[in-house]
Amino acid sequence: MSLTEDQKAEIAALRGQSAATRRATVPALEEMLYTATPVLDHGFVRVVDYMGDDAAVVQAARVSYGRGTKRVSEDAGLIRYLLRHRHTTPFEMCEIKYHVKLPIFVARQWIRHRTANVNEYSARYSILDREFYLPAPEHLAAQSSVNRQGRGDVLTGHEADEVLDLLRGDAMRTYDHYAWMLNEGTDGEPVDPGRQGLARELARMNLTLNTYTQWYWKTDLHNLLHFLSLRADAHAQYEIRAYAEAMLQSVAAWVPATYAAFNDYRLGAVTFSGPMMAILRRMLAGEAVEQKGSGLSKREWDEMMASIGGGA
């Protein structure tokens, strides 16, 4: 990730400001505020604003006048109860706003989560930077033979080099064409005064999906946790998972009691269906149960056995 000197100065100026407030603040998150956490090769995530804390969740659950109880352990116990039993509305009382720089193809996957307020960098108004995502060698993999939306074995040798050359070459070439069609210098004046440039809203359609975009993304804590439960999961695409893992750091700093409960009851937990539970009870009773005749598909059976450490 590379920030310009102007961007660094802007962040330093923001971090140098402070104001007295009666609002709840979280020292650990205040320390992270505005700072960009690098993600992938040119991306980042940074918190630019937030509202509420763990005590705000408790306050909403109890509809109290105060900010929770005098005992942190009691607040943590209630938060664990709320998360465990999926009482979600108290978590909607907290909000957070991120500034994210990400490849366009990741943004198009991310926007499927429709429970946030989003404002994206406009390529109709401004010119996109000459920055592209290129996977590190360990993340350059073939299509999975068992999962239609997953990766298989990592590419190596000449094949990997050729793929990276194609990705880099296509991105550079299409950006060169984009810049030529715009015919616009950094000062806004034509590069070639004798030629009329294409409108920005049309020139952008030529760019590759690994081009970087940026947006502000604001959501409440409940919907953020839902996003993270899906995108920080081991089965999520690596690129969006990298952003989710960076965001988990801010959640841990912001609402540590909620984060601990989320880690236990969502990230570190599994869900069994009714038929799976019936089979597990039979196994606990000492019965030898096989997939054939269990009523579960092979995929369901494999998932259950993997969850309990029994292999496929």
Q: What is the pLDDT of residues 159-169, one digit of tens each?
A: 889 999 999 99
Per-residue model confidence as pLDDT tens digits over 196-209: 999 999 999 999 99
Cα–Cα distance for residue pair 85/176, rounded to 1 Å: 54
User: Active-site residue among 71, 231, 241, 299?
Assistant: 231
Beta bridge partners of 37: 45
Mean pLDDT across 124-133: 93
Indicate if the pLDDT at residue 109 is higher than 90: yes
**pLDDT the model gives residue 4:** 80
Mapping DSSP to helix (H, G, I), strand (E, B) and coil, where does residue 165 land? helix
The model's confidence at residue 175, banded by pLDDT at 50, 70 and 90, is very high
Cα–Cα distance for residue pair 12/260, rounded to 1 Å: 31
- Secondary structure (H, E, C), 1-49: CCCCHHHHHHHHHHHCCCCCCCCCCCHHHHHHCCCCEEECCCEEEEEEE
Strands (E), the chain: 37-39, 43-51, 95-103, 117-120, 141-143, 151-154, 212-220
Indicate if the pLDDT at residue 116 is higher than 90: yes
**pLDDT the model gives residue 284:** 94
The model's confidence at residue 44, banded by pLDDT at 50, 70 and 90, is very high
Indicate if the pLDDT at residue 87 is higher than 80: yes
Q: Which residue has the higher pLDDT, 290 or 3?
A: 290
Indicate if the pLDDT at residue 68 is higher than 60: no
Mean pLDDT across 52-74: 81
Mean pLDDT across 125-139: 93
Which tokens hold the place of 162?
């050729």
Q: Is the CB of residue 200 less than 8 Å from the CB of residue 237? A: no
Greatest extent of the chain over all pairs of C-alpha atoms, in Å: 85
Burial of residue 23 (CB within 10 Å: 0-12, 13-18, 19+) is exposed
How high does pLDDT run on average in the chain? 92
Q: Is 231 a catalytic residue?
A: yes
Mapping DSSP to helix (H, G, I), strand (E, B) and coil, where does residue 131 land? coil
Mean pLDDT across 139-151: 73
The model's confidence at residue 152, banded by pLDDT at 50, 70 and 90, is confident
Indicate if the pLDDT at residue 99 is higher than 90: yes
Indicate if the pLDDT at residue 5 is higher than 60: yes
**pLDDT the model gives residue 147:** 66
Mean pLDDT across 47-64: 93
Mean pLDDT across 266-272: 92
The model's confidence at residue 18, banded by pLDDT at 50, 70 and 90, is confident
Cα–Cα distance for residue pair 30/16, rounded to 1 Å: 12
What is the helix, strand, coil percentage profile of the chain, to 5? 45, 15, 40
* Phi, psi angle pair for 68, to nearest 5°: 95, -150
Q: Which residue has the higher pLDDT, 35 or 3?
A: 35
